[in-house]
Structure 1
Amino acid sequence: MSLQYHALNSIQSTNFLSSTKTTLSSSLSSSFLTISGSLLNVARDKPRSGSIYCSKLRTQEYTNSQEVQHDLPLIQWQQLQGEDAPQISIGSNNNAIEEAVKSVKSILRNLTDGEITISAYDTAWVALIDAGDKTPAFPSAVKWIAENQLSDGSWGDAYLFSYHDRLINTLACVVALRSWNLFPHQCHKGITFFRENIGKLEDENDEHMPIGFEVAFPSLLEIAREINIDVPYDSPVLKDIYAKKELKLTRIPKEIMHKIPTTLLHSLEGMRDLDWEKLLKLQSQDGSFLFSPSSTAFAFMQTRDSNCLRYLRNAVKRFNGGVPNVFPVDLFEHIWIVDRLQRLGISRYFEEEIKECLDYVHRYWTDKGICWARCSQVQDIDDTAMAFRLLRLHGYQVSADVFKNFEKEGEFFCFVGQSNQAVTGMFNLYRASQLAFPREDILKNAKEFSNKYLQEKRERDELIDKWIIMKDLPGEIGFALEIPWYASLPRVETRFYIDQYGGENDVWIGKTLYRMPYVNNNGYLELAKQDYNNCQALHQLEWDTFQKWYEENRLNEWGVRRSELLECYFLAAATIFESERSHERMVWAKSSVLVKAISSSFGESSDSRRRFSDQFHKYVANARRSDHHFNGRSMRLDQPGSVQASRLVGILIGTLNQMSFDLFMSHGRDVYNLLYQSWGDWLEKWKLYGGEGEEGELIVKMIILMKNNDLANFFTHTHFVRLSEIINRICLPRQYLKVN
């Protein structure tokens, strides 16, 4: 809690900033200041006519479409005035949220081996297979190629133009069609596109080059030459690609690749001089070679292996003629969906479905890690790190020793036996490394390595990944580096991620570009925005109520500044943000303010603390003798003790009574005695020791009371006592920590 308070020290009283898309600053405090208005954008404001769609700003009129993203305007560093406050309509979009939740639930309940787009390149390799009678073994694959040529004559991703992707897909499809002397018109258009654009490869970004392009592309060119396809084989750019292939092939440890499973099994179609008798022993359980249709198709051409054929038939049937560049992708899909739903702040709608997803992932977890598909003999750090993080967060038993499989001489790598790293792989390793238990040195080493790697990439402006083209990878990494997991507030992360998440526009890089519609889904994004707006609207009303309570009780007279009022509510709303948890949120915020008021006004000496505590206990004793719940505002002030103490005790009593009454009216639960007991316990400790850090335990108790009143033995349970000790140590004032 002290970390979070420190992060908000620079927030000015009643100066709220609107919902934002912003670049993270270099300091933690500035990061929180930047987005504080995402939760509370109304200061001194009163609701007016109109409906809220995130937050409206009194700013310049934007004429550049780049200044608005996802209907959320860019931040402007201005103080909002009362006339700018939009009306806040609570629950107006509840029906839309319910429908969106149903839609997402339908997706989560029907997950199988993974939804993934078809790869023209892999489909072409399948189409090349001879049935044994000089006809295609998979005529549906040939048909898919003929029906999915783009208007410019190419094949590939229709929405993101990449010369690497378009040229390798196009050449593969032309080779397949020409091999069977079918669809000459499509062949001619494809060859024309290829000839006109092959030179453009010189200007392409190598970071986004498909996996194994420099090996697979020359192999296709050799087949094209054999069947007399007229392309410019003497092009300078092709000579450069051939040179890269020869260099890469000299580095491939063929002795090793024939003995143990490696990532080379994924790209066999680009290699030569292979020992198939040995390689067949490394085949995956489903009959594939590391889940690659093209690699498996090539293997079948060379071996006529029945398991390869079984895998290919299943894939072609599953995708109605075409095949993806990798399949299955079940673990990848399950893990990444859960991550996206959590970061978008909507995972609470799908708790049952998320548990099923993580149960599935845990079922295939191994001490060596996992990869994108179940039962794999090859593991990668990206899927392993993401799964480790989510499983540990949800209480599954997973050992950090799994990362020892990806470390050598102090460096971490993506695949066993490789020495290079991918940005997203190191990013997910960094995120996972922060969930460390004591003495897990491997996670400490992983955190240091990944942090350094990402910081250096960031400084050189090289946060480009070889596995995905996404909307704002630098923004995601910047947020993670500047705001560690233990200091991050859930709603703050969500507000940033709503801007960073690209939805269906994010594209993955395999042998070709591909998309994962259940991972990158606009429906998730729309639900996240609707939910955020709904919660924000309620937060704004609560903030108005909170300020009125502060003003009516003149808490400024007790040393509580408006900036501290903002701190208290902001922390509560950014952490317990859900609409249905209003009681918990408000009891956190009000308790924090009352602790500040009491400590500020009566905490200077043991005598003043004793007088205040005694005054509180006397009032409670009197109330119990009279056997009724009384309103603190109407209490008499002529009882023993100072008038000041009596007034503040009255405010405390009145607030506790109101909390108890509100909960009783809304949920039918009476927590009156437990509320007073919790405050009485805190005041006793505060009286004796000044209460350093004990407010953390008090606030946790108050939140629990709002959540569940079945607490007869809860507060004395050994686990709760231990948790309270930890909370109190975390919440100790910074001055105390420095001294000790």
Structure 2
Amino acid sequence: MEFSKSFNIQALVKTIKGELKLGSNDPYSFIAPCAYDTAWLAMVPDESRPCQPMFNNCLDWVLSNQNEEGLWGEYDGHGMPTIECLPATIACMIALKRWKTGEMIIDKGMAFIEANAEKLIGEIHGSNCPRWFAIVFPAMVEMAQTSGLEIIFPDRKKRVVMDIFYKRERILEREELVDKHHYPPLLSYLEALPALCNFDQEDVHKHLHADGSLFQSPSATAGAFMATGNKDCLNYLQALAQRSTNGVPQTYPMDEELLKLCMVNQLQRLGLAEHFNQEIEGLLEQVYRNYMNQDQSRPKWTNSMETQLYKDSLAFYLLRMHGFSVSPWMFCRFLREEEVQDQIERNHEYFSSVILNVYRATDLMFPGDHVLEEARSFSRKLLEKTISKANKDQNIVPFPSFQSVIKHELRFPWMARPDHLEHRMWMEEKNNSGLWMGKTCFHRLSCLQNDKLKQLAAQNYEFRQTIYKSELEELTRWSKSWGLSDMGFGREKTSYCYFAVAASTSVPHDYEIRMMVAKSAIVITVADDFYDMEGSLDDLEKITDAVQRWDAKGLSGHSKTIFDALDNLVNELARKYFRQHGTDITNSLRDIWSETFASWFTEAIWSKTGFIPAAEEYIETGMISIASHTLVLPASYFLNPSIPYYKLNPAQYESITKLLMVITRLLNDIQSYKKEQKEGKTNFVLLHLKENPEADIEYSIAYTREILEKKKKELLEHALMDGFNDFSKPCRHLHLSCVKVFQMFFDSSNRYDSNTEMFQDIQKAFYIPVEIGAPKPLPLHSGSKKRYPTVAANYHFDQRYKNRNYIRLAANCLVSQPLSGNPYMKMPMAPNFKLCFM
């Protein structure tokens, strides 16, 4: 069974590698087309034959890509259509109506809107309506009406629609076509702007990009060309249509390096990096060379400022995670540009995906990275603000599931999240194809690529589950056979111990490493509890002496059980190592365990005699008694056989090992001080409080956390970067994984001592299948296609609009005057519209 699963995974990996070709394939194939922008290109008439479309491939895409439910566009994290699909669907229907084709498809789209418009706009309320939607949606409704399409909205939602129109009025009155306060600028929505905005050819020409685009937006550039006949716009559109033969993206051109980085990020988040290591390393090396060769002063921000910031922060994160030496200024230069910061803060909802990426990049903070601290504070403040608004109105953040991703990032520190479960969460996050917010929707991975990656990720995850379940059963039998699971005191943590090692690394080490660390953790837990709560001083002195001598003579009962299990474990590891490498490491393993048992005995003496050590003396013993080095150093022999002998002796521990020991001790102490205070024991928090009588417990905790954060930054640098120690990368990453395990157990409470808190995580890690499903189909309107009068004709006059310009705007917006002689841009007034506002 396992062989069959492995074979299927490798076959799918081979297929995906052939399609992806990270180093050479067209990166545009990674990005899903945008229905809204493709529809706009489909509307452009041929210059020589105005009765025919200029871009037949775009019209063909519209004809071929209507979803089963009748919409064009995307689904949210729950498999339901988003508000993005409303303007996209209307735009596609307008394009089809323009060329008198796809009548049945149009009817299906109309039926979808009739059946679902109430739900889709139900939560939008005036001022809380997203800016982009308030600009684009009214324009699409108006264009549909002038094209002869009656967009039907339920009577009880017409006030909501009216509020959206009113918000557009306020936007148009308040904003300049291009100003420094609003992003994207109003002119980037040119295709949706009514004639009263008074833009002209000079406005278009002034803001054209060198490639002939208007803010690199296909839809805006299509609108500009139809309005002005600008030849540069035409050249841009023709180049775009030639490059994108299967629907166009919402931004063109796109940064091809960014698209590849997004694919690497997706592979890592899905837990698939182990299958694409060579491709990922090759791409990152190229990105690093480009970074080192570019002008480090960096040019001014371009019109696609959000894209640049997204790319730079993502590149920094991936490069630093893979051991490349990069400066935080790679993406943090925005902190020295007040105008850019102001723009991000004013438009934080639009920038939410970019800000989240900045926040993630600050997870990888080294000592002295003060600019990253500033970036973290800035990004966290804006993410919290976005979530606060989203809690009041679900449309502030485009997808509810995206809100959950932000909340997850803010609630759980990166170091407290086991990789295995993070991969699962990302697989089950149905909006994980969304990369960053564009003008009217997220840039997304193409459906084909994302579906195959999800399929591979699910198979890979469930294959691991099969292995993990089998190994946990074996470990349980081992623990029981040596009497460790039935001691009658303390904690039985076999599942916790195995879960910790299996779930903590993105690429699981081999069977021997997992079992070695898990067995060591079981012995440590049982022995530590024996020293803490069961053994008398006489018992503890005997077992400590026995371990120093490595001789069980004189032991009995629990002491004998613990020693025999430990002796079996050490001998087993030594035999395996000797068979593989021809060296006897028995004495080195015994030395590490002897040191650990001696520290437990010292602490037991302190506890039973009431002795209170100084904080410095305590930490010297406590960093050994936490036994994290006892877990990772024996495994390091197997991961890096060339480690010099002296590096694994207590007096010669590497700095990364010492950092690990201190960090894990302090993590434990912050969450255990109340329990240990009741039991008459001490820890670092309590000792600091005792030595600083003017302080309170909160101050001592804050002081300990300050030390902890500093040490974690140091360890992260030692783990990710070369040159700090002689350990190989796998050894260093094992140290980092151990820190993450302790952070997970002791982040906000002592989860290790709880019998219930880890239950659900263990179930998800080992037993519960991954839930990856296709979007749920929506029921179409079941009755006959009941026709209502147009929205405009059914607006009821409301006294609160009497003294405002809304009535004038609503009527005049439907009379768009052309900026040139292009006949298609003439929009006649909708029937009955004058009557309803008389």
TM-score (norm 1): 0.68
Equivalent position amino acid for 1:487 in 2: A
Q: Which residue of 1 aligns with 2:588?
A: 677
TM alignment of 1:510-525, pairs within 5 A: 511=440, 516-517=445-446, 521-525=450-454
Distance (Å, rounded) in 2 between the aligned partners of 1:529 and 1:243 = 46
Do 1:300 and 1:309's aligned partners in 2 also have CA atoms closer than 8 Å? yes
* Shift in Å, 1:535: 1.9
Which of 245, 249, 253 is the matching residue for 2:172? 249
Q: Which residue of 1 aligns with 2:269?
A: 343
The 3 A distance-change label for structure 1 pair 204 and 693 is same
TM alignment of 1:165-176, pairs within 5 A: 168-169=87-88, 171-173=90-92, 175-176=94-95
* Shift in Å, 1:404: 6.4
Do 2:270 and 2:457's aligned partners in 1 also have CA atoms closer than 8 Å? yes
* Shift in Å, 1:524: 2.5
Equivalent position amino acid for 2:168 in 1: K
Distance (Å, rounded) in 2 between the aligned partners of 1:312 and 1:182 = 23
1:14-66 Cα offsets, whole Å, 9 max, x none, are xxxxxxxxxxxxxxxxxxxxxxxxxxxxxxxxxxxxxxxxxxxxxxxxxxxxx
Do 2:42 and 2:59's aligned partners in 1 also have CA atoms closer than 8 Å? no
* Shift in Å, 1:348: 1.6
Q: Which residue of 1 aligns with 2:374?
A: 442
* Higher RCO (C-alpha 8 Å, min separation 6): 2
The 3 A distance-change label for structure 1 pair 530 and 661 is farther
Q: Which residue of 1 aligns with 2:623?
A: 693
* Shift in Å, 1:165: 5.2
SS of 2:198's equivalent in the other structure is: coil
TM alignment of 1:153-168, pairs within 5 A: 156-157=72-73, 168=87
Do 2:144 and 2:151's aligned partners in 1 also have CA atoms closer than 8 Å? no
Equivalent position amino acid for 2:188 in 1: H
Aligned length, in residue pairs: 624
Q: Which residue of 2 aligns with 1:112?
A: 27
TM alignment of 1:535-554, pairs within 5 A: 535-554=464-483
Q: Which residue of 1 aligns with 2:570?
A: 656
Do 1:175 and 1:223's aligned partners in 2 also have CA atoms closer than 8 Å? yes
Distance (Å, rounded) in 1 between the aligned partners of 2:489 and 2:345 = 57
TM alignment of 1:692-731, pairs within 5 A: 692-694=622-624, 695-712=627-644, 715=647, 721-731=654-664
Do 1:613 and 1:684's aligned partners in 2 also have CA atoms closer than 8 Å? no
Q: Which residue of 2 aligns with 1:393?
A: 321
* Shift in Å, 1:575: 1.5
Do 2:74 and 2:82's aligned partners in 1 also have CA atoms closer than 8 Å? no
Do 2:490 and 2:529's aligned partners in 1 also have CA atoms closer than 8 Å? no
1:44-100 Cα offsets, whole Å, 9 max, x none, are xxxxxxxxxxxxxxxxxxxxxxxxxxxxxxxxxxxxxxxxxxxxx543411111122
Do 2:33 and 2:246's aligned partners in 1 also have CA atoms closer than 8 Å? no
TM alignment of 1:116-515, pairs within 5 A: 116-135=31-50, 136=52, 138-141=54-57, 143-144=59-60, 147-148=63-64, 156-157=72-73, 168-169=87-88, 171-173=90-92, 175-176=94-95, 182-183=100-101, 203-206=121-124, 212-219=132-139, 229=148, 240-254=163-177, 256=179, 262-264=184-186, 266-271=188-193, 272-274=197-199, 277=202, 280=205, 282-284=207-209, 286-301=211-226, 304-305=229-230, 307-320=232-245, 322-329=247-254, 330=256, 333-358=259-284, 363=290, 376-379=304-307, 385-396=313-324, 397-399=326-328, 402-403=331-332, 405=334, 415=344, 418=347, 420=349, 424-425=353-354, 427-438=356-367, 439=370, 440-446=372-378, 448-450=380-382, 452-453=384-385, 456=388, 460=391, 466-467=397-398, 469=399, 472-473=401-402, 475-501=404-430, 511=440
Q: Which residue of 2 aligns with 1:96?
A: 8
The 3 A distance-change label for structure 1 pair 546 and 195 is closer
The 3 A distance-change label for structure 1 pair 285 and 711 is farther
The 3 A distance-change label for structure 1 pair 669 and 586 is same
* Shift in Å, 1:479: 4.0
Do 2:335 and 2:375's aligned partners in 1 also have CA atoms closer than 8 Å? no
Do 2:121 and 2:160's aligned partners in 1 also have CA atoms closer than 8 Å? no
* Shift in Å, 1:657: 1.9
SS of 2:622's equivalent in the other structure is: coil
Q: Which residue of 2 aligns with 1:531?
A: 460
Distance (Å, rounded) in 2 between the aligned partners of 1:729 and 1:191 = 62
The 3 A distance-change label for structure 1 pair 536 and 454 is farther
Distance (Å, rounded) in 1 between the aligned partners of 2:491 and 2:116 = 64
Q: Which moved more, 1:724-733 or 1:345-354?
A: 345-354
Distance (Å, rounded) in 2 between the aligned partners of 1:188 and 1:475 = 35
Do 1:368 and 1:402's aligned partners in 2 also have CA atoms closer than 8 Å? no
The 3 A distance-change label for structure 1 pair 214 and 457 is closer
Equivalent position amino acid for 1:108 in 2: L
Alignment of 1:737 with 2:737, yes or no, is no
* Shift in Å, 1:584: 1.3
* Shift in Å, 1:478: 4.9
What is the identity percentage for the equivalent residue pairs of Structure 1 and Structure 2?
22
Do 1:369 and 1:402's aligned partners in 2 also have CA atoms closer than 8 Å? no
Distance (Å, rounded) in 2 between the aligned partners of 1:544 and 1:154 = 50
The 3 A distance-change label for structure 1 pair 683 and 324 is same
Do 1:154 and 1:193's aligned partners in 2 also have CA atoms closer than 8 Å? yes
The 3 A distance-change label for structure 1 pair 114 and 643 is same
Do 1:400 and 1:443's aligned partners in 2 also have CA atoms closer than 8 Å? no
TM alignment of 1:545-564, pairs within 5 A: 545-555=474-484, 561=490, 563-564=492-493
* Shift in Å, 1:508: 8.1
Equivalent position amino acid for 2:134 in 1: E
Equivalent position amino acid for 2:684 in 1: L
Q: Which moved more, 1:701-710 or 1:309-318?
A: 309-318
SS of 2:366's equivalent in the other structure is: coil
Equivalent position amino acid for 1:483 in 2: F
Distance (Å, rounded) in 2 between the aligned partners of 1:701 and 1:510 = 52
Distance (Å, rounded) in 2 between the aligned partners of 1:501 and 1:389 = 23
SS of 1:157's equivalent in the other structure is: coil
Distance (Å, rounded) in 2 between the aligned partners of 1:452 and 1:687 = 47
Equivalent position amino acid for 1:723 in 2: I
TM-score (norm 2): 0.61
* Shift in Å, 1:521: 2.0
Q: Which residue of 2 aligns with 1:567?
A: 496
Equivalent position amino acid for 2:177 in 1: K
Distance (Å, rounded) in 2 between the aligned partners of 1:517 and 1:387 = 21
Structure 2 residue runs of 5 or longer lacking an equivalent are 604-620, 674-682, 689-838
The 3 A distance-change label for structure 1 pair 307 and 231 is same
Distance (Å, rounded) in 1 between the aligned partners of 2:280 and 2:200 = 43
Equivalent position amino acid for 2:27 in 1: T
The 3 A distance-change label for structure 1 pair 676 and 649 is farther
Distance (Å, rounded) in 2 between the aligned partners of 1:195 and 1:651 = 68
Q: Which residue of 1 aligns with 2:704?
A: none
Distance (Å, rounded) in 1 between the aligned partners of 2:423 and 2:385 = 25
Do 1:587 and 1:659's aligned partners in 2 also have CA atoms closer than 8 Å? yes
Q: Which moved more, 1:542-551 or 1:413-422?
A: 413-422
Distance (Å, rounded) in 2 between the aligned partners of 1:163 and 1:578 = 35
The 3 A distance-change label for structure 1 pair 507 and 150 is farther
